[in-house]
Chains A and B, each alone.
Chain A
């Protein structure tokens, strides 16, 4: 059974760094064709892709946030960590991690429930 769960602070002050952890089970990120990605959704707005890490260690970031994001893995702990620097109230959103499989046409086939992060103004 594949599960993903996001964890991290619910409140982050402006200019601080956000660290979110995605803990997954039911698959190995070292299996060819597996990826874990981070996506966020500000209140009332659309889903926005942030970053992804592939089974071979390659990482990719959305262009607009590339300088603020870092994604890393701890394969022994089945975790993927996302850090976002210089947090701003505009970064208030629900943050999701999800699995992507090349075999499913690059679909996000399993998602976590999401974690709401608030950056007060």
Chain B
């Protein structure tokens, strides 16, 4: 059981826009910024978005993030086959002094 709630799966066709949601509470998302990671099996997870909506260098602008209250979203526009992966949201939990995660959303490009 993960602390943050994500839908287990999402899908779209090439070129489409998909969004993935992440829900928490006032002690995690409500109090801290949200980050998004992309994970392909057997590889190191990759940071896509930090601080709600900031893209690290090298991340395409097809990826965008937003946060409102105790929820956050990752949007992927112009969907490509290489976007097939598991996407995790993460944020800080004050009481833990460490990060908490969503359960992950498996994105399928049809």
Contact = CB atoms under 8 A, between A and B. Distances in A.
Interface of A: 4, 37, 39, 46-49, 51-52, 60, 62-63, 96, 98, 100, 104-114
A104 to B, nearest CB: 5
A51 B43 CA distance: 21
B45 A49 contact: no
Interface string B48-66: 0011101010000000000
The 9 closest A-B pairs by CB, nearest first: A105-B51, A46-B2, A107-B50, A47-B101, A107-B35, A105-B33, A49-B98, A111-B44, A60-B97
Interface residues of B, number: 29
B99 A106 contact: yes
A41 B35 CA distance: 18
Contact of A49 (B42, B88, B99): B99
Interface of B: 1-2, 32-33, 35, 37, 42-47, 50-52, 54, 56, 88, 90, 92, 96-104
A52 B92 CA distance: 13
B110 to A, nearest CB: 24
A118 to B, nearest CB: 16
B88 A47 contact: yes
Contacts of B32: 105-106
A104 B50 contact: yes
A46 B37 contact: no
B47 A107 contact: yes
Contacts of A4: 44
